[in-house]
């Protein structure tokens, strides 16, 4: 049984400062240690639940945060930037389920630690078939295309609420609760690691009760940018349509195309 893990950083227990997620800062070394501890707890739990193979996709920033030599030996690591499927690289129908670790809530969520969607200052909102989503929804939707259910989400209380609104049965561990954008009430580390281990095992055991997140076709993707010139540049993507000053819509043929449309729109917008 194969388990897929996408690992972000802003939702890791203890992570509150911008410096915690910035490789250029001296705070970062400590935070990537917290990140790998949570990922390893989830791998341990998955293996205890019967997983025979685990792939971990490093999904934060330059996507090379997890120290390869400290990762649980049962897992293989996808590391480094430029992956064509980014936060969901390697996902396919061979996986029995997916874990979303260290995740954070969508841009604009109140009392959410590091709330953002994809990148600070470039994306204000994403909607698929008019449903407002954050990174959890965007990524779980790609897993859903391959009929892979989200089993477990970890992060702050806000992302747990966001994930449960989309996938009511998903197992979850809230490792902290936002008191502001850069401050949180954090659970004791040992306790949150134990909870991640337990929930990982339980969710793998209860596999048949978990349902994939499937967005119905025909698909519509809408992306709101904070500035008109970003939307203007993004509208160069063939097949896209500028539906408002700061909004681009696309009608991709399937979910992998939707995901790639989103990545292309984002990268175009960044050049504006």
Using CB under 5 A, list all residues that contact Zn ion.
8, 135
Closest distance between Zn ion and the C-beta of residue 118, in Å? 7
- What tokens were used for 199? 């929930």
DSSP structure class, residue 92: -
Burial of 253 (0-12, 13-18, 19+ CB in 10 A): exposed
Closest distance between Zn ion and the C-beta of residue 43, in Å? 20
| CB-nearer residue toward Zn ion: 135 or 156 | 135
The residue nearest Zn ion at its CB is 8
Closest distance between Zn ion and the C-beta of residue 49, in Å? 26
Closest distance between Zn ion and the C-beta of residue 215, in Å? 20
What radius of gyration do the chain's Cα atoms show? 18
Q: Are 225 and 119 in contact (CB under 8 A)?
A: no
Strand, helix or coil for residue 114: coil
**Nearest-10 crossing angle of helices 255-270, 135-145:** 140
- What tokens were used for 221? 């993707």
Closest distance between Zn ion and the C-beta of residue 63, in Å? 11
Indicate if 114 belongs to the active site. no
How far from 17 is each of 22, 27, 114, 117, CA to CA, in Å?
9, 9, 8, 17
| CB-nearer residue toward Zn ion: 47 or 63 | 63
Lookup result for tokens 């954090």: 186
Does the N-terminal peptide bond of residue 123 adopt cis geometry, omega within 30 degrees of 0?
no
Task: Please identify which of the residues 114, 116, 145, 210 carries the catalytic annotation.
Answer: 116
Whole-angstrom Cα distance, residue 127 to residue 42?
30
Q: Which of 43, 13, 57 is nearest to 31 (CA)?
A: 13
Whole-angstrom Cα distance, residue 270 to residue 42?
34
Q: Which residues are identified as catalytic? A: 116
């Amino acid at each position: 049984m194969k388990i897929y893990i996408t690992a972000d950083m802003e939702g890791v227990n203890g992570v509150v400062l911008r410096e915690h997620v910035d490789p250029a800062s001296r705070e970062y070394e400590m935070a990537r240690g917290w990140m790998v501890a949570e990922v390893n707890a989830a791998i341990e739990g998955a293996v205890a639940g019967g997983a025979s193979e685990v792939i971990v996709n490093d999904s934060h920033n330059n996507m090379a945060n997890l120290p390869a030599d400290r990762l649980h030996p049962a897992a293989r690591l996808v590391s480094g930037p430029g992956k064509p499927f980014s936060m969901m690289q390697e996902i396919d129908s061979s996986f029995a389920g997916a874990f979303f670790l260290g995740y954070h809530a969508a841009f604009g969520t109140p009392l959410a630690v590091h709330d953002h969607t994809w990148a600070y200052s470039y994306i204000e909102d994403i909607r698929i078939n008019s449903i407002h989503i954050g990174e959890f929804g965007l990524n779980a939707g790609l897993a859903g295309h391959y009929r892979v259910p989200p089993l477990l989400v970890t992060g702050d209380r806000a992302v747990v609420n966001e994930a449960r609104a989309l996938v009511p049965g998903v197992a979850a561990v809230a490792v902290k609760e936002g008191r502001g954008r850069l401050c949180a009430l954090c659970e004791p580390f040992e306790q949150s690691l134990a909870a991640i281990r337990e929930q990982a095992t339980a969710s793998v055991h209860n596999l048949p009760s978990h349902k994939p997140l499937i967005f119905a076709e025909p698909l519509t993707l809408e992306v709101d940018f904070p500035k008109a010139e970003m939307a203007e540049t993004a509208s160069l993507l063939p097949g896209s349509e500028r539906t408002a000053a700061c909004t681009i819509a696309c009608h991709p043929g399937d979910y992998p195309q939707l995901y790639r449309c989103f990545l292309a729109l984002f990268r175009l917008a960044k050049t504006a």
